[in-house]
Amino acid sequence: MEDNKLKEVDIDVEGEIELPQLDVKQYIGQKVKIAACKTCQGTFGYMVQVITAPVAQLKDGKDITASRIFGLQQDADGKIGWGKETALGIFLSKMKAKHYKDLVGKEVIVQTRTSKNDGKEYLTF
């Protein structure tokens, strides 16, 4: 186990504890500009993560942003892109953008979505 640089420790673990919660509802309806679009690869293929400028900052200095992930497709020739009727295609049309890179600087309205995995609410648009 030397390779992963884990060090075994003997500590007293209480069990389940109460973690701080952030009430994201206060940011719903806030207008904010898109700050970045990142192309990523995940378990299910390629995607674009669209991230806003910070809507607020926590006491520890961490930024609170809204984000949204759009899937990309690969055609038979190996070209990667999106279809007109996909979520990304529809969003680009709505935002009057030809490419997701053109989204940077455009304004969106913050909303929330509830994760199916953990039931928590996250900021999106």
- Spell out the residues 6+ positions from residue 33 whose beta carbon is closer than 8 angstroms to its own: 52, 53, 105, 106, 107, 108
Task: Kindly report, residue by residue over 23-38, the tens digit of the pLDDT.
Answer: 888 999 999 999 999 9
- Give the domain ranges of the chain: 24-124
Cβ neighbours of 47 (radius 10 Å): 15
Cα(89)–Cα(70) distance, rounded to whole angstroms? 9
Query: What's the pLDDT score for residue 19?
Result: 63
Mean pLDDT across 39-43: 91
Task: Kindly report, residue by residue over 73-112, the tens digit of the pLDDT.
Answer: 999 999 999 999 999 999 999 999 999 999 999 999 999 9
- Quick one: pLDDT band at residue 3, thresholds 50, 70, 90? low
Q: Which two tokens mark 33?
A: 């500009």
pTM for the structure as a whole? 0.79
Query: What's the pLDDT score for residue 61?
Result: 87
The answer, yes or no, to whether residue 2 has pLDDT greater than 60, is no
Residue in this structure with the two tokens 């500590």, named with its chain if needed:
11
